[in-house]
């Protein structure tokens, strides 16, 4: 059992690594940053499993980690991740999501399961109601189209023409998008959209 854990929270990472080594006899490499994890995957891999804290550079970081994993499973590790993020991770072919809150024995069973090439999502998350009415989510078709064009660097006028909506409507959609993504400008919105896999 050869595992890589990438997590900026040093204490949590070391506790998990020590637990795996003592209870399962595995070898655990550790990384504090995304770059350290990518370097470890390149120089010390392939690993049987890579566990990475989602907050370590978000969805773009996951894409890069999957590319560097040499086809081995990569799973998200976190105390709590919203269901839409987990869904996006699965679309990218991540192995699933391992909560830090699992009991020790369950945690070991889950990582063994993942190393067999299976996928794991917590039962509670699977049965969580859809949050289509969540004001912080972007699911409106027009909002997605506006956001896609923001990422392409298009002006409000160009967006207006392409979508066939008035200039003021574009401004309203932008204001709503900024609020939902908790950003204040177009560049930040584009970065957030790509991190969340919205475009």
Strands of 49-53's sheet in order across? 27-31, 2-6, 49-53, 74-78, 96-99
Please say whether the beta carbons of 32 and 79 come within 8 A. no
Per-residue pLDDT tens digits for 57-73: 677 788 888 888 888 99
The arrangement of secondary structure in 141-195, i.e. its CATH architecture, is Orthogonal Bundle (1.10)
Can you give the residue ranges of every domain in the chain? 2-126, 141-195
Q: Which DSSP state fits 32?
A: S
What's residue 136's pLDDT? 45
Higher pLDDT, 41 or 55: 41
CA distances 107 to 20, 101, 112, 153, Å, are 9, 9, 9, 44
Average pLDDT of the chain, as a whole number:
83
Percent of the chain with pLDDT over 90: 26
Give the separation between CA 14 and CA 145, rounded to whole angstroms.
Answer: 43
What six digits make up the tokens of 30? Answer: 């550790």
From the list 139, 146, 125, the residue with the least C-alpha distance to 196 is 139
What's residue 48's pLDDT? 94
CA distances 132 to 117, 143, 146, 172, Å, are 31, 14, 19, 20
What's residue 31's pLDDT? 93
DSSP line for 93-113: T--EEEETTS-HHHHHHHHHH
Q: Which CATH number fits domain 2-126: 3.40.50.170, 2.130.10.10, 3.40.50.2300, 3.40.50.620?
A: 3.40.50.2300
What's residue 132's pLDDT? 44
Per-residue pLDDT tens digits for 124-142: 766 554 444 444 455 567 7
Please say whether the beta carbons of 78 and 103 come within 8 A. no
What six digits make up the tokens of 23? Answer: 């209870």
The model's pTM is 0.63
What's residue 134's pLDDT? 46
What percent of the residues of the chain are helix, what percent strand, and what percent coil, each to the nearest 5? 55, 15, 35
């Amino acid at each position: 059992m050869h595992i890589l854990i990438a997590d900026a929270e040093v204490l949590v990472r070391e506790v998990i690594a020590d637990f795996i080594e003592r209870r399962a006899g595995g070898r655990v490499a550790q990384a504090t940053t995304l770059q350290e994890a990518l370097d470890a995957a390149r120089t010390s891999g392939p690993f049987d499993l890579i566990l990475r804290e989602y907050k370590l550079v978000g969805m773009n970081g996951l894409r890069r980690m999957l590319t560097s994993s040499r086809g081995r499973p990569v799973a998200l590790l976190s105390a709590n991740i919203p269901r839409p993020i987990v869904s996006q991770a699965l679309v990218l072919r991540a192995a699933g999501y391992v909560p830090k809150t699992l009991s020790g024995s369950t945690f070991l069973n889950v990582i063994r399961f993942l190393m067999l090439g299976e996928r794991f999502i917590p039962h509670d998350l699977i049965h969580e109601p859809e949050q289509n009415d969540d004001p912080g989510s972007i699911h409106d078709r027009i909002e997605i189209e506006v956001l896609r064009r923001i990422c392409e660097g298009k002006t409000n006028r160009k967006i207006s023409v392409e979508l066939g909506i008035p200039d003021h409507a574009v401004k309203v959609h932008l204001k709503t998008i900024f609020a939902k993504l908790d950003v204040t400008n177009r560049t930040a919105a584009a970065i957030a959209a790509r991190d969340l896999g919205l475009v």
